[in-house]
Homo-oligomer: A and B are copies of this chain.
Amino acid sequence: MSIQINRKMLSFAGVLGLLAIGIVTIVFATPAVSTTGKTQSHDRGPDSCTPVIIAHRGASGYAPEHTLGSYSLAITMGADYVEPDLVMTKDRHLISRHDNELGLTTDVANHTEFADRYRTQKIDSNEVSGWFTEDFTLAEIKTLRAIERIPDIRPGNARMDGAFQVITFQEIIDLVKSLQISQRRTIGIYPEIKHSNHFKKLGLPMEELVVNTFHQNGYLDSDAPVYIQSFEINNLKELKKITNLRLLQLYDSKSLEPADQVLLGANITYGSMSTPEGLAEVAKYASAVGPDKSYIIPRNADNSLGDPTSFVADAHAVGLKVHPYTFRAENTFLPEEYQSDNPSKGARGDLTGELQRYIGAGIDGLFSDQPDIPLRIRGPCL
């Protein structure tokens, strides 16, 4: 019911907005404003081409991840979707970080005023030491600056250490909606809810807040340019009940169990979720699956690519799109046959070669730190 009302309000505002913006456009000679996530007639939508290119933590191969810099680079390169990981602050703000530990990707260690927040705790099954987002308010986190996670592999990114703040989920939505105007296309948003169970136990559940944020911003239905991802199962099932937005089940290594399932003693591994029967279960709540890329083409003992499995066909058979992760251009991440001879740590190899093998295996989309590379070879487009 509340969704019905929102949709009417959106239409009303949309008509008025387009009227005024039409006039503004004539006078200013600027492009039309796309205020909702909807595809307009002049637009290329984020699902128009195959494979769909998802900028992993932004264009994180070129700028510190999860910053306005990495997201704006990804969008101006032409990425279809931008991917933020989401964690929670003490005062219930969704922020964009891969980890709830802040020392890995911010300068928090240099902030003596936060030295007493350093602690050790168990997150899911792992003991972690550092500074945790759940111990900080958003205002406190806004005093920190983002730094590069892997400066030895990406010294070009580390040049921008200190240039950007940590940003909220809403700031990413604002950036996307703004850049939709100049880029004249609809840009998708593809968040991952991190450590769902951990934050739930702390009384800081994220699922409803993520959904409400999307709904309040006009992203409402399964045709909105959105996917919500998680490595857990039960939170995706909960999400299915409160939103029509599309959901994606992430897959970690085959032997591992989703964190929420460990606590339930359910004995469900990602491997069991990748069988035809397992995929059929996932298809009941998800539109797509995001496997580690080895599910699709495993590596041989010498680190070269082996033969494709039946994963893509099995997923397609139950109606699931397949969006594997993570495609990265540096040698250290590439299969043996696509690495370059350059011995320097940050040297890049032939990501295009690896991508062509996966595109040949029939994937529908992919997560990449260097979205420009798959963008130059992908197609066809509708």
Contact residues of A with B, CB < 8 Å?
6, 9-10, 12-14, 16-17, 19-21, 23-24, 27-31, 33, 35-36, 61-63, 67-69, 72-73, 75-77, 155-157, 159-160, 162-164, 170-171, 173-175, 177-183, 216-218, 329, 348, 370, 372, 376
Query: Can you tell how many copies of this chain the complex includes?
Result: 2
Q: Which residues of B contact A63 (CB under 8 A)?
A: 62, 73
Which chain B residues lie closer than 8 Å to A29 at the CB level? 170, 216-217
Out of B13, B69, B162, name the residue touching A27 (CB < 8 Å): B13
Closest Cβ neighbor of A219 among chain B residues? B28
CA distance A52 to B9 in the complex (A): 42
Q: Which of B35, B77, B159, B180 contacts A28 (CB 8 A)?
A: B35
Q: Please determine whether A179 and B177 come into contact, CB atoms closer than 8 angstroms.
A: no
Q: Which residues of the other chain, B, contact A372 by a CB distance below 8 angstroms?
A: 160, 162-163
Interface of A is mostly: helix
Return A244 CB to nearest CB of chain B, in Å: 18
Interchain nearest-CB distance for A124 vs B (Å): 32
Tell me if A181 and B182 are in contact (CB < 8 A). no
Which among A24, A33, A35, A174 has the greatest number of chain B C-beta atoms within 10 A? A24
Q: B69–A164 contact, CB under 8 A?
A: no
Residue of B nearest to A218 (CB): B28
CA distance A317 to B184 in the complex (A): 47
By a CB distance below 8 angstroms, the chain B residues around A178 are 178-183
Chain B nearest Cβ from A131, distance in angstroms: 22
CA gap between A36 and B30 in the complex, in Å = 11
Q: Chain B contacts of A69 at CB under 8 A?
A: 72-73, 76-77
List residues of chain B with CB within 8 A of the CB of A164: 76-77
Closest residue on chain B to residue A23 by CB atoms: B13
Q: Are B171 and A177 in contact (CB under 8 A)?
A: no
